[in-house]
Each structure stands twice: as structure tokens, then as C-alpha cells.
A and B are shown apart, each in its own frame.
Chain A
Amino acid sequence: GQNIDQPTEMTATEGAIVQINCTYQTSGFNGLFWYQQHAGEAPTFLSYNVLDGLEEKGRFSSFLSRSKGYSYLLLKELQMKDSASYLCAVRDSNYQLIWGAGTKLIIKP
């Protein structure tokens, strides 16, 4: 079967750095996405990785290792507004998006 694993919940302090991990087992791989979803709102796109390595976009970075079936989202200089759920999704060989259950990130002052 296909599976995406992420921690259910994480807590971090304002101004700090947090790393949210995602491991996947899918039938084929055609890219990995990270989305942010604030409570009661739509998911919004954060990043896309298809090749190994680190993609940096401001305070957010996303890393991919295809051989290990592993990705992480790194958030720096955390702000209170970063409190949200972070969803990892992998596009499989049929080009379907397989979603993780999301990681709820709680930022404390």
C-alpha cells in the first residue's frame, strides 16, 4: 500500500527553528509537495521538490532524498502566524497525489 508518515503534532518557540519530517512509501515518485493549512482555511502551497536536495524559499526550506523516501520542511525564525498544519503529499506513478495526515505545529511565545 501507499503511505505517508508525518508526526501528528509538534511544539516550538517563537523565533526558533523547527523541522517537520515526512517519510513516504509510494508506487513511483513524481514530486513531493508541502502545503500549509491554518485552522478552518484552505491548504496553500509552500514548496515542490522533485530532485534531491534543498529548496530554499525565504524562512521556509524543503529537503528531499528520493533514495531514502524522506523529506523535511524547515521553518526558521518562527512567528506566531506559523501555527498551522503542514501537509506532505507525494505524486505517485499514476500522477495521483497521496497525502499525509498533516503535522499540527503549535508556536509558543
Chain B
Amino acid sequence: ETGVTQTPRHLVMGMTNKKSLKCEQHLGHNAMYWYKQSAKKPLELMFVYNFKEQTENNSVPSRFSPECPNSSHLFLHLHTLQPEDSALYLCASSQTLADYNEQFFGPGTRLTVL
């Protein structure tokens, strides 16, 4: 495996379900990110981790809970979601948080909340 991988690619869940999204990067990067992408809207940064430590939480509702056990893995735990949470959830990584570092994105998880 190379680059940034995400599983599952598609997820349909009810509002009472609990599920988790997984992201893994094989690039040796130290920073990882969760984004939400809704149709025709800008990417919304949700969480940032640097060397496994959370550095940003952009006022994300508590029904989204991130976990970063090591620099290569990132999880997003979901519970009691709302239909408006349906979106593409993208994971990304970068070498560091430095301004010139590009971010490498995974293919995303298409989430549908019924």
C-alpha cells in the first residue's frame, strides 16, 4: 500500500448507529487531518494531529470523536449522527505542519446518514 488509504469507501448508517472511519498513511508523515467535504462547499477542516497530539478542533460536534494512536493511523468515531452529516470525509497527511508542506489526501469515505 502506498499513499493515504481510507476505509470504508462507502458507509450508510442510521442516526442511532456507532461506526468508525479509518485512515492510514504510508508516507512517514507526522501530521494528519480530517476534513468534511459537502457538495459545492469548501473543504471544512475538522481535526488536526501533529505527532499524535491533537492541535486543532474546529468546533466540531461531540458526535464526531477522533483518535490518533500513532503517526500513521487516524480514526473518526461516529455516533448519533444527523442527516446533515452526510458528506465525503477526507483524511490527509503532510510531512509537518510547516506552511510549505503539501497535504496528501486519501480517497475519502462517502457517508450517508439515514
Question: Which positions in B face A, CB cutoff 8 Å?
Answer: 4, 40-45, 56, 90, 97-100, 102-108
Instruction: Verify if A11 is at the interface (C-beta below 8 Å from B).
Output: no
B residues near A30, Cβ cutoff 8 Å: 99
Tell me the bound Cα distance from A44 to B102 in angstroms. 9
Interface range for A: 20 to 34
Interface readout for A80-107 with B: 1 if CB under 8 Å, 0 if not? 0000000101010001111111100000
Question: Which positions in A face B, CB cutoff 8 Å?
Answer: 4, 8, 30-31, 33, 41-45, 48, 50, 87, 89, 91, 95-102
Question: Smallest CB-CB separation from B33: which chain A residue?
Answer: A97
Whether A101 pairs with B41 at a CB distance below 8 angstroms is: yes
A residues near B106, Cβ cutoff 8 Å: 42
Shortest beta-carbon distance from B72 to chain A in Å: 17
Whether A96 pairs with B45 at a CB distance below 8 angstroms is: yes
CB contact between B107 and one of A4, A41, A45, A95 (< 8 Å): that residue = A41
Whether A48 pairs with B45 at a CB distance below 8 angstroms is: no
Whether A101 pairs with B40 at a CB distance below 8 angstroms is: yes
Whether A50 pairs with B40 at a CB distance below 8 angstroms is: no
Known: A95-B97, A96-B56. A45 touches B41 (CB 8 A): no
Shortest beta-carbon distance from A8 to chain B in Å: 7
